[in-house]
Amino acid sequence: MRARTKGYWWYLAPSLVLFLAVIVAPFLMNVATSFTRWSGVGTPRWVGLDNYTRLLDDERFWQSFQHNVGLIVAMAIVPTALGLLLAAVLFDYIGRRFGARTAAALRATYYLPQVLPVAVAGVVWGWMLHPSYGAVNQIFGLRLNWLGDPDLALATVMAIMVWFQLGYPVVIFMAGLQRVDPALHEAAEIDGASWWRRFWHITIPQIRPETFVVLLTCTIAALKVFGPIYVLTRGGPGNATMVPSYFSYLSFFQKSNVGYGSAIATVLALIIIVVTFLFLRVQERES
């Protein structure tokens, strides 16, 4: 049997070489660089854990992770909660009373922002929120500088990300709901359970696996977020919308502080790996 499986290694070889060159080696180089002071030219100077201790004292670093928490709320928690409700309403309320076509059309509309490159979504909103000629101020008769006011900028970016992200959970949850045995709902209905009770006690428990997947992927996406920040605010005004990915980008390419940027990126990578691991463990225990 072993002789039979041996020859298959050749099929893996091209990918392993590529993977080593493009992902494994660069990642290890990044970790190594995080222990050095380096401007990108010349020889990196070993400084041990210096970058990491500086990070712990750096207010921008802590702020950037706080903003990440806000983005997790906007990109994972709110879309998941809202998506559960919308998917359930579309599936067994609208679908049954107004036909599957109406439900499908609404679902497609909610999904539409998801097809955009996130940078393009940023261009769209940057234009709509422009303080002098933007459409949003005109509609509400306001003169707010949505992205330029430090008190408003993060909330604005969060709202945009809810708009961008909402369709994804709706589509995944509606697909998941097709798996749920209709007999469960029918039995509960005969017993006189209200729509809310059925939603809470049947729908939500039944599509738990999908909920896990959506929460995990959206949380990771929120931790990695870069495009909207680059296009909309460049982390500003001040540091009002600074996130780790943009912070590392700045350190790499504008401040020529490569060691420091590498340390930020390494911390971000570790957080993402830990979050993934935790989710998978919880999911395993559940099933």
Partner 1 sequence: MRAGPGRWAVLAALVVLAAVMLFPFLIVAVNAVKSPAEYGAEGPLSLPGELYLQGIADFWKRVDFGGKLWNSLVISGSVAVLAVVLSVLNAYALGIGRVRGRLWILVLFLVGNTLPQEALAYPLYYLSKEVGLYDSKLSVIIVFTAIQAAFGTYLLSAVLGQFPREILEAAAIDGAGRFRALWRIVVPISRPTINVLLIFFFIWTWNEFFLPLIFLISNDNQTVPVALGVLQGEKYMDATMSSASALLGIVPAVAFFLIFQRTLTRGVTVGAVK
* Other beta carbons less than 10 A from residue 269's beta carbon: 16
Residue 215 CB, shortest distance to partner 1, in Å, is 15
Number of H helices, E strands in the chain: 19, 2
Q: Which stretch binds partner 1 (CB under 8 A): 49-57, 124-132, 150-158, 203-211?
A: 124-132
Counting contacts by CB under 8 A, is residue 155 touching partner 1? no
Among 188, 224, 236, 239, binds partner 1 (CB under 8 A): 224
Counting contacts by CB under 8 A, is residue 9 touching partner 1? yes
Counting contacts by CB under 8 A, is residue 46 touching partner 1? no
Counting contacts by CB under 8 A, is residue 231 touching partner 1? yes
65: helix, coil or strand?
Answer: helix
Angle in degrees, 0-180, between the axes of helices 153-165 and 59-72, rounded to the nearest 10: 40
CA angle 64, 159, 205 (to 5 degrees): 95
Residue 12 CB, shortest distance to partner 1, in Å, is 5
The smaller minimum CB distance to partner 1, of residues 23 and 81, is found at 23
Q: Please, how many CA atoms are within 13 Å of residue 95, restricted to the half-sphere of its CB?
A: 13
Q: Which stretch binds partner 1 (CB under 8 A): 4-12, 63-71, 73-81, 149-157?
A: 4-12
Whether residue 246 contacts residue 63, with contact meaning beta carbons closer than 8 Å, is answered with: no
Residue 150 CB, shortest distance to partner 1, in Å, is 18
Counting contacts by CB under 8 A, is residue 37 touching partner 1? no
220: helix, coil or strand?
Answer: helix
Within 165-204, the residues that bind partner 1 by CB under 8 A are: 166-167, 175
